[in-house]
Structure 1
């Protein structure tokens, strides 16, 4: 493998290119017109514009990306996450043109891309699953009958999608029809597929995911878990590894379950198996993400591996050079997704220019970043600016360093999730480890964040005044 094209943008494009360059592989960036001066374009050895700003006219044009790859003699394509990363048709297109797709085979993507197909596939391995339907449903009266037999509350979920779209919690039977209509409509609009399924709603779940890595020689490893329970709108904001909830025995049990999920679909490459963990530490298979996850850096830090390097090695047909026995958890890592969103206004996207953009630096601080000072935030893509990751020998150390790093991350021009990250890190529920996916709903409100910021501002003002008065009392001896 001599040349790799990254079919993505922003921080993940740079992150993949950095490892590729370290491995002596030339890199190619693709970009939309609005990203012409983006950092990932400058970082690559070559860069090609593939269309206008909207993703469906640029980053989602699989055939155009293939054409660029052929013209530049590209050996492999890394899709990052999002865009074409879980598109089975694109993986097949790469295979058809003898270009290495750095990810699983198209069959595995297709199976795990449907939640219902995934559940059917893993059945033979006795993976624990939440009680629910085994097939897609569009008939509302039939669905209502099934929901009653499962027992309310239930969860309606889109079969073809994720990210909280087409998902509805139904607490009472009287709400069922209206919520079912909304879920089907939303799933149709988002994924072109209105099929949904129903499962029992786990009331106080934690979102635990297991990182796996598999090669083409039959070796499958798990690289421990990540806790991803701090979410807004069913999307993650704060992640950590390892989880404070898991015992060593439970970690091993979930790790083996994740390995079995990978084996069930002949998986190759990096993947993540997601589970729900209830208040009694029972776990249930949720889905498999057939790509590199946004939060992969926390796993890299505690496991001491470069997941992108492993992806590339496996894609080249090499055997994994580590064994399960060699993998050990070392320390604790925490990640905050720094979104251009306003936590004071329901986390709505914050559009503007990065008038000030200074990143924190220091030992055990990592920033995977895709922006520069002076850049505008495009309205066409996910509003994540960067990922702020900290590491410590203990969870407490990683949390304290995260607070310090947040304080040293200076952004002006847009609102971000940095203040929310600080709120989480200082909250007793998070620090004690007694939280679940309802953290935002249970513990967070904009007025609490505003109150916290006022207290911090008052403390800063008092410290400044104290320092000023102390300076005035110093006897200054003339030269």
Structure 2
């Protein structure tokens, strides 16, 4: 199965497709790399605006309109000789669907996917590789919702994840695929059909960003890729591997300090658990007006901080500049329109070199690391 989708060659066709599929939808030009001009659209007005300003649709350049499924995302790199299909491993993304795969953290072997789900992914991978008569490498991306596996993207080519997967499985994937193209089967190279045995260690792939050098690029993560490199962390447990990956990507967070929450209404409930966990390990919580009110009403003490220009001694840039904030968690909800205040808040974190999280899943991973290295401060 795959998310329902249609192609559109003009604005009205796109609107009609979205009405039929149901909002939210994921819209993008066909044949793009890096998620260029890809957007999650919540309503008809935003879709019309996208069709008028972001793309130039035509019969030769259609726009893809797909149902946007919120779920766990994972991907597979496979090697096929037309008969057998070797699957070196399944990589589970930390961030849910909606963040470009190149900007997502990925874990191998998967930590939350059941054996049944992994078997389904392996089955779909083999059927696609054979059905497409793929000789060599291919990359497939999946999203899992309510224990149903959906195919969201198939690329009959090598992916940016090949170096990572080659390293952690010790399979020279590029060499194996090249030999297949030259006529040497998987069996002749000593490899069996199916999913390769998992590593005993946990490996985490993390993106690296260059926002300090690309000053005009907004650091808000979404469907369009913004990372410029990758690092890897390996250890016996997920938390230790995450810690190494965060450190390697210059996301250092001390075991004490303060974190600023500025959260969109769409994600306040989800952010509440994060705030409670930061509070439990001794972190102080600063929050903007609406977020502070919500957290305090739900039993998490949050100190009010102004956004920008409301009080220069107690706004977010001032806290960051004076070293009173060790991280910022900033979400904008599903409607990712440009917000000048939000962009300035994110820029203050980039300029100060402190961790900035625009996806709650990434912040959750960081809290897991801190929890594994901290003692609770709750009274008994």
1:390 to 216, 229, 233: 233
More helix as a share of residues: 1
Query: Aligned pair in 2 of structure 1 residues 146, 388: CA closer, same or farther (>3 Å)?
Result: closer
Instruction: Structure 2 unaligned segments of length 5 or more: list them.
Output: 220-225, 260-272, 278-328, 334-344, 356-380
Q: Which residue of 1 aligns with 2:211?
A: 341
Q: Which residue of 2 aligns with 1:130?
A: 3
Query: Aligned pair in 2 of structure 1 residues 147, 397: CA closer, same or farther (>3 Å)?
Result: same
Q: Which residue of 1 aligns with 2:27?
A: 156
Query: Aligned pair in 2 of structure 1 residues 227, 422: CA closer, same or farther (>3 Å)?
Result: farther
Given that residues 298 and 333 in structure 1 are in contact (C-alpha distance below 8 angstroms), is that contact kept between their aligned partners in structure 2? Answer: no
Query: Aligned pair in 2 of structure 1 residues 317, 335: CA closer, same or farther (>3 Å)?
Result: same
How many residue pairs match? The answer is 262
CA distance in 1, matches of 2:135, 2:204: 27
1:257 to 110, 124, 128: 124
Offset of residue 282 of structure 1: 2.6
CA distance in 1, matches of 2:132, 2:195: 25
Query: Aligned pair in 2 of structure 1 residues 344, 247: CA closer, same or farther (>3 Å)?
Result: farther
1:327 to 173, 191, 196: 196
Query: Aligned pair in 2 of structure 1 residues 176, 244: CA closer, same or farther (>3 Å)?
Result: same
Give the match's secondary structure for 1:184.
coil
Offset of residue 285 of structure 1: 1.1
CA distance in 2, matches of 1:446, 1:310: 44
Q: Which residue of 2 aligns with 1:221?
A: 86
CA distance in 2, matches of 1:171, 1:263: 36
2:156 to 290, 298, 304: 290
Given that residues 132 and 199 in structure 1 are in contact (C-alpha distance below 8 angstroms), is that contact kept between their aligned partners in structure 2? Answer: yes
Pair 1:176 & 2:47 matched = yes
Q: Which residue of 1 aligns with 2:177?
A: 311
Give the match's secondary structure for 1:287.
strand
- Scaled by the length of structure 1, the TM-score of the pair is 0.47
CA distance in 2, matches of 1:225, 1:214: 16
Query: Aligned pair in 2 of structure 1 residues 259, 182: CA closer, same or farther (>3 Å)?
Result: farther
Given that residues 227 and 242 in structure 1 are in contact (C-alpha distance below 8 angstroms), is that contact kept between their aligned partners in structure 2? Answer: yes
Offset of residue 447 of structure 1: 5.1
Give the match's secondary structure for 1:342.
coil
CA RMSD of aligned residues (A): 3.7
Instruction: Structure 1 unaligned segments of length 5 or more: list them.
Output: 1-127, 350-381, 407-417, 433-438, 454-479
Give the match's secondary structure for 1:149.
helix
Query: Aligned pair in 2 of structure 1 residues 318, 222: CA closer, same or farther (>3 Å)?
Result: same
Offset of residue 175 of structure 1: 2.3
Query: Aligned pair in 2 of structure 1 residues 422, 223: CA closer, same or farther (>3 Å)?
Result: farther
Given that residues 138 and 184 in structure 1 are in contact (C-alpha distance below 8 angstroms), is that contact kept between their aligned partners in structure 2? Answer: no
Greater shift in the superposed pair: 311-320 or 261-270: 311-320
Offset of residue 305 of structure 1: 1.2
Alignment of 1:39-54 (within 5 A): none
Given that residues 302 and 329 in structure 1 are in contact (C-alpha distance below 8 angstroms), is that contact kept between their aligned partners in structure 2? Answer: no
Pair 1:401 & 2:266 matched = no
Offset of residue 388 of structure 1: 2.1
Given that residues 234 and 244 in structure 2 are in contact (C-alpha distance below 8 angstroms), is that contact kept between their aligned partners in structure 1? Answer: yes
Offset of residue 234 of structure 1: 3.0
Write out per-residue CA displacement over residues 100-136 of structure 1, whole angstroms, 9 at most, x where no aligned residue.
Answer: xxxxxxxxxxxxxxxxxxxxxxxxxxxx110122xx3
Q: Please identify the structure whose Cα radius of gyration is greater.
A: 1
CA distance in 1, matches of 2:138, 2:34: 17
- Scaled by the length of structure 2, the TM-score of the pair is 0.58
Pair 1:242 & 2:109 matched = yes
Offset of residue 289 of structure 1: 2.2
Give the match's secondary structure for 2:180.
helix
